Chains A and B, each alone.
Chain A
Amino acid sequence: MKKILLAGTILIIGLAGVTHQTLADEQVNSLRGDLALDDNSTEPEMKNWQLDRDPIERDHVKQPPLIPHKVQGYKINLKFNKCMSCHSWTKYKEAGATKISQSHFEDRENNVMANVAARRYFCNQCHVPQVDAKPLVENTFQSLPTVK
């Protein structure tokens, strides 16, 4: 019995060693790249906000639409919401903007309000502008054909 246990332990240790070796051969790099711990990582290229363009297609159902323009300096506070100066129901036609969805007028008890509900007030909690950034790691994500 003892001999079997001993043989088993040796086998496991041996296998673990082999696996470890295989992983090391593949050379897993961190997102920082192949740098020594005390090296400075290379400075990433600065990304600029994308200029005005057509509405960006959605990738899944109920995705908050992305913002197809710059929003630098746009303020949202208790006194004023810059986004609403174009996207409100009274302004969207004149501004040629997308109208804010009716769903944003409902509070959490589904009461319909006369104005944007407090929980929907901070637009950029869900809607974000874009830079031209490539995915950091490869992935096989594909958007739904039905919402494209």
Chain B
Amino acid sequence: MSMKDKFNSLKVWLAGFSVVTLVIGGIIFGVLSWGGFNWAMELTNTEQFCISCHEMEDNVYMEYQNTIHYSNRTGVRATCPDCHVPKEWGHKIVRKIKASNELLHKALGSINTREKFENKRLKLAQNEWARMKKTNSRECRNCHDFESMDYTAQGRRAYKRHIKAVDEGQTCIDCHKGIAHELPDMHEVDASVVVGQKSN
């Protein structure tokens, strides 16, 4: 059966329904497929999904548990997707498509041991820093917005530098690196924050 024949037989089949049935059926089909798609995507947007890979669970998830985004005085917690996946649909889809590269590296076993992960840590961290820098730390600002920050309630170190940061157009990740995971070896980034020689 050629393509044209298939199309014609579909037309014949559809002609058997009234317009009302077609419209209502179309709406139901649309809602179900759209909802199902988003439901499936949200499944990949949970902490449980992220740490279903041992690469995530054994390395970055362990480190994150010692940080303020995991446990703090108010009991508000930011989980993996809160920081690593955009909230808006368009940006989210783009990030999800890019994340398919991570599936490839999962299959290749690029970071399937602690050693491999540590060797790649600088590059991985730099990727994430670059992403946040590019989007003006969009995911941070879902919770931490300069607009809604009361500087007077902050410590004096924080408020001085935050005001300066606003004036100079800095973004969160410029200063707040390594707050939810361990930092990579910083020799190549800033040698003044490390002891004398490069560690191996």
Contacts and interface: CB of A to CB of B under 8 A. Distances in A.
On whether the two chains bind one another, the answer is yes
Contacts of B193: 80-82, 84-85, 88
Contacts, number: 67
B152 interface: no
B199 interface: yes
Given A113-B196, A121-B195, A80 B183 contact: yes
Interface majority SS (helix, strand, loop, mixed), chain B: loop
Contacts of A84: 192-194
A114 B178 CA distance: 25
Q: Give the one of B184, B191, B196 with max A CB within 10 A.
A: B196
Given A52-B155, A80-B186, A115 B178 contact: no
Given A52-B155, A52-B156, A79 B196 contact: no
B119 interface: no
A78 B187 CA distance: 10
A95 interface: yes
B160 interface: yes
Nearest to B121: A79
Interface string B144-166: 00000000000111101100000
Nearest to B185: A79
Interface of B: 66-68, 155-158, 160-161, 178-179, 182-187, 190-196, 199
Given A88-B192, A91-B192, 14 more contacts: A52-B156, A52-B158, A53-B156, A73-B67, A73-B179, A75-B178, A75-B182, A79-B199, A80-B178, A80-B185, A80-B186, A84-B193, A85-B193, A113-B196
Interface of A: 51-53, 69-70, 73, 75, 77-82, 84-85, 88-91, 95-96, 113-118, 121
